[in-house]
Structure formats: C-alpha cells, structure tokens
C-alpha cells in the first residue's frame, strides 16, 4: 500500500509531502532524484531503495513519488497516482507546481479523502466533489459571507448507492449529451513509405449534463470493428457482450465512456504521406533536405494542424530552409526541426527544402532521424466507426444530443 507521497518539481525540490502511515523522511526521494539526474526522461517507474520502494509518475512537469515499504502491485500505485493527477486537473483545471501550491489546502484535503492508510477510499470525481467543493471565486466569496465551508458534513449519497459515480439530485435547465469519438492513429512508416505497423486507439469522451437519473443506450452502426475495448465502470458489460450496445447511467459531467483498440492485424488507413530526402555530407559541404507532405486516403476530408517534428542527427549544426507553406524552426541545442504546416489544401502540396550545415569531420553514416507527424482530421473516424443512435430511459425530458468525430495522429512515426 502507499505509505507516503512526495510531489517533486522539475528542479528536484520536494514541495509537498503527505504521509498516510508513519512519517518517512523525505530524504528517501534522493534515490528518485539520482535516477532522474542520470537520465531525466528515462526514469524507471519503480525504484528500489534499501528499505523502501519508490513508484513514480511524471505529469505536467511535476513528479509524484509514492513510497511503499513492502510488496505492492506497481500498477495499482501508478494507476492511483494518475487518478490523483486527473482529480487535480478536474478541480484546478491543471496540475502544475504553482497550482498545487496555490491550492495546497484543497490538495491536502483531497489526498486525505482519497486514501486511507494507503488504500483508496473515494476516487470518483462525483463523490469527491460533493465532499470537497472545488474552489472558485464565487464560492469563496459566498463562504466568507455566509460562513459556510467547502467541506461537506454529510456523506455523499453516491458512496452508498450502486451507481457511486453519479451524484444525486442533478438538475439542469438545458439537458444535453455530447459524445466525442476521437481516434488516434499510431503508425510506423519505414524509409520506403511502407507501413511497418499501424493501429488505431480510439476513445469516446462524453460531456453529459442531464437531470435526474437518466439511463442511456448508445448503439453503433458497426460495433464489430472493435478489437478490444475498455469501459468506464458505469457501462453494463453483460449488455455489451450479448448485444454490443453501450448501456449505462452516466456520471455527471465530463468522463471517458470507453476506449477501444483496433489492432495491428486489421488494415488501417494511413491518411498522410511524406516524401523525404536527406543527404548529409561529411566533407564540409552542405547537406540537403527536402520534404513534401500530402494527404492519402482521407475520404475527402482535409488534414488540419499538420506539423512535422524531426530529431536531426547530432552532426547537424543548422538548417536554412524555405517552405512554401507554414513556418519552420530549428533548435540547434536539442537538434529538433519543427515545421508547422497547418491546413493542407489541395492541389498545393506543402514542401520544404534547403541546405543543412553539418559539422566538419563528423561521421554521418548510419544517422537515421525520424519524423513525428501531428495532424487532425475533423468529422472523420478513420476506422469508419459510426454511432447509430442514442436512447434515453428513466427521464421525461428530451435531451439535446450531439456526436462529433475526430481523427488525430497518435504516435505517428516516419523513419528516414
């Protein structure tokens, strides 16, 4: 179980600590800091110190280090730490050092409520929000005037009901339910443009503001697409298994209803291609770089927010390029070339070319940079998934419903 939690900022200061059992001195974090110093971006999530085990995550520039004294499932701790950060983001809209410091009292109250003796007590955002009200200016003023506090004195009803994720007595003037179907394409494209591997990771994020206790069912046109799925606890798994229908009583507000995976066995459409040529000459001459980007299999949609990121070999000193669209920048320290293209409008294909200055005498053989591509395609789910209908039971009103599709690049990778 989790004994203590330390939150560490990028410069290595422990700026918040919380102990659920006996106090563990913060010097235990030195083992983490040492590992971090050795390789800042490559800290193993589990570290063994002589008497403790440190399990850490890094998010939003801060590192959360949980300390345990004995055997514990690492995924349990990691998952919980992520849930902590999610909760902070839910409360304060972000999770950075400054924000945590500004709200340390709420943070402390939350941590106290989420974990009891190192074992999770309440992690559902709906329950927590009833116990401890999220801070906002209006409430702060109201509290100062009325003398009320942010802390509830009664047990949230959700905690005892069999739908613990939903708070009771929800009331909205406008009842609306929005679903975002987001798909991310993970791909590795090799030098010659052939697809080495491609997968789709999709999720359905909801924003549901419905009064009462609505019971929703969501049906898909083509549910057979899914290779593997995972659900929010509210989804009735039996229904899904037998009928391939998502039936659920939703939590109030924003949440992720399901995520799915369309694996490397299925054929995945790759919506973009890059033609690239990079020559580096070591004899003092300038190297040359040319890139052309174009859409492919986009089903008539446009690619937006396209950006290319190339981590150049160490020998590249600088680049002087001209792009026919968008802007580029090169950071000579981190050796990252960033080309922000924006929207691709046919028939003009974005192109960038120019010279690359290479350090004299450097070995350029075998250097094979790779391109990370970012893009979004609105109104398209690249897998072809479509929501067929949404029905609501258990409430009288007629809600406003909306579904939005979007495709993004996940870890989209082109080897050069």
Rg value, the chain, Cα: 25
Kindly tell me the burial class for residue 20, based on how many C-beta atoms sit within 10 Å of its own C-beta (0-12, 13-18, 19 or more): middle
Nearest distance from residue 319's CB to another protein, in Å? 17
Using the minimum distance from each CB to another protein, give the nearer residue, 45 or 294: 45
Does residue number 59 form part of the binding site for another protein (CB under 8 A)?
yes
Number of residues that bind another protein (CB under 8 A): 103
Nearer to another protein, 132 or 392 (CB): 132
DSSP code for 225: G
- Interaction between residue 334 and another protein (CB under 8 A): no
180 binds another protein (CB under 8 A): no
* By the rule CB under 8 A, 305 interacts with another protein: no
Report helix, strand or coil for 83: helix
Nearer to another protein, 167 or 325 (CB): 167
Q: Which of 103, 110, 14, 18 is nearest to 63 (CA)?
A: 14
Q: What are the strands, taking DSSP E only, across 96-231?
A: 115-116, 119-120, 176-189, 195-209, 215-220, 228-231
Burial class (CB in 10 A: 0-12, 13-18, 19+), 263: middle
Nearer to another protein, 123 or 125 (CB): 123
Shorter beta-carbon distance to another protein: residue 197 or 329: 197
Interaction residues for another protein, span 256-285 (CB under 8 A):
256, 259, 261, 263-265
CB nearer another protein, residue 26 or residue 353: 26
Please tell me the distance from the alpha carbon of residue 206 to that of residue 180, in angstroms, as a whole number: 6
**Which 102-131 positions form the footprint of another protein (CB under 8 A)?**
102, 104-105, 107-109, 112, 116-117, 119-121, 123-124
CA 43/CA 14 separation, integer angstroms? 17
Regarding 227 and contact with another protein (CB under 8 A), the answer is yes
Minimum CB–partner distance for residue 383 and another protein (Å): 15
Which one of residues 12, 60, 74, 253 is an interface residue with another protein (CB under 8 A)? 74
Q: Tokens 């859409």 identify what position?
A: 295
Residue recorded with tokens 């697809």: 195
Binding flag, residue 141, another protein (CB under 8 A): no
Residues in 363-382 at the binding interface with another protein, rule: CB under 8 A: 363, 365-368, 370, 372
Q: Are strands 351-358 and 215-220 parallel, antiparallel or unpaired?
A: unpaired
Interacting positions 190-219 with another protein (CB under 8 A): 190, 196-197, 199, 201
């Amino acid at each position: 179980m989790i004994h203590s939690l330390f939150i560490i900022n990028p410069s290595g200061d422990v700026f918040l600590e919380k102990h659920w059992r006996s106090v563990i001195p913060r010097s235990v974090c030195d083992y983490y800091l040492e590992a971090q110093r050795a390789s800042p971006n490559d800290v193993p999530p589990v570290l063994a110190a002589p008497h403790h085990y440190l399990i850490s995550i890094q998010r939003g520039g801060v590192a959360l280090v949980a300390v345990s004294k004995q055997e514990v499932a690492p995924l349990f701790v990691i998952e919980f730490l992520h849930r902590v950060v999610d909760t902070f983001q839910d409360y304060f809209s972000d999770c950075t050092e400054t924000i945590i410091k500004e709200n340390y009292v709420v943070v402390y109250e939350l941590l106290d409520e989420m974990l009891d003796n190192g074992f999770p007590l309440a992690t559902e955002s709906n329950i927590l929000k009833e116990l401890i009200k999220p801070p906002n200016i209006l409430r702060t003023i109201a509290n100062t005037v009325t003398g009320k506090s942010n802390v509830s004195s009664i047990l949230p009803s959700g905690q005892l009901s069999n739908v613990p994720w939903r708070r009771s007595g929800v009331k909205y003037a406008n009842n609306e339910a929005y679903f975002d179907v987001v798909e991310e394409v993970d791909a590795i494209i090799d030098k010659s443009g052939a697809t080495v591997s491609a997968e789709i990771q999709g999720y359905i994020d909801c924003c549901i503001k419905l009064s009462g206790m609505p019971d929703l069912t969501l049906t898909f046109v083509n549910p057979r697409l899914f290779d593997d799925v995972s659900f929010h606890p509210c989804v009735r798994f039996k229904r899904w298994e037998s009928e391939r229908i998502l039936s659920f009583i939703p939590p109030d507000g924003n949440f992720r209803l399901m995520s799915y995976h369309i694996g490397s066995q299925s054929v995945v459409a790759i919506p973009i291609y890059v033609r690239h040529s990079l020559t580096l000459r070591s004899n003092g001459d300038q190297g040359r770089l040319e890139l052309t980007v174009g859409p492919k299999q986009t089903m008539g949609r446009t690619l937006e927010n396209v950006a290319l990121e190339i981590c150049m070999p160490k020998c590249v000193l600088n680049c002087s390029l001209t792009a026919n669209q968008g802007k580029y920048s090169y950071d000579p320290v981190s050796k990252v070339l960033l080309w922000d293209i924006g929207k691709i409008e046919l028939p003009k294909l974005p192109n960038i070319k120019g010279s690359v200055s290479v350090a004299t005498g450097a070995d350029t053989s075998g250097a094979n940079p790779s391109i990370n591509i970012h893009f979004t395609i609105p109104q398209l789910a690249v897998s072809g998934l479509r929501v067929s209908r949404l029905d609501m039971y258990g409430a009288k009103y007629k809600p406003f419903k909306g579904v939005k599709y979007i495709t993004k690049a996940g870890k989209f990778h082109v080897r050069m």
